[in-house]
Amino acid sequence: MGKTLQKIKVSTVNEMPKNLGKTVTIGSHEIALFHLANGEFRAIENRCPHKGGVLVEGIVSGDHVFCPMHDWKISVVNGEVQKPDNGCVKTFNVAIENGDVYIVL
């Protein structure tokens, strides 16, 4: 299809409080961007596979976010829903350069 990857600046490291999510919409994508306790950034689709809960508002613990709707536990690293529930959300690559946060799309 010949699509080229784009790096889109969405925030700066300083603007992102730890263990909280930020809603980022890029075109038709709604993305939940997280700044984890260990300093890493992760981006996943902002929709829970269960009933479409907005994951960006969930409680973040380690590498996981708990959906605020019905408490599904979802990895922000690979998007996998943790047992006993099933499913997967899309993940996006994040790049940090000179204190700026980019989502690669």
The continuous run of DSSP H or E covering 29 comes out as strand 29-35
CB 74 within 8 A of CB 85: no
7 binds other proteins (CB under 8 A): no
- Phi and psi at 73, nearest 5°, equal -105, 125
> Restricting to residues 45-84, which ones interact with other proteins according to CB under 8 A?
46, 51-54, 57-62, 66, 68-69, 71, 73
Number of residues this chain uses to bind ligand FES (CB under 6 A): 9
* Closer residue to ligand FES, CB minimum distance, 10 or 47: 47
The beta strand positions in the chain, using DSSP E, are: 7-12, 20-26, 29-35, 41-45, 59-61, 64-66, 73-75, 91-97, 100-104
Q: Which of the 8 DSSP states describes residue 77?
A: T
Q: Among residues 10, 31, 32, 72, which is the contact residue for ligand FES, using CB under 6 A?
A: 72
Nearer to other proteins, 26 or 88 (CB): 26
50 touches ligand FES by CB under 6 A: yes
Pick one of 51, 78, 86, 95: the residue that binds ligand FES (CB under 6 A). 51
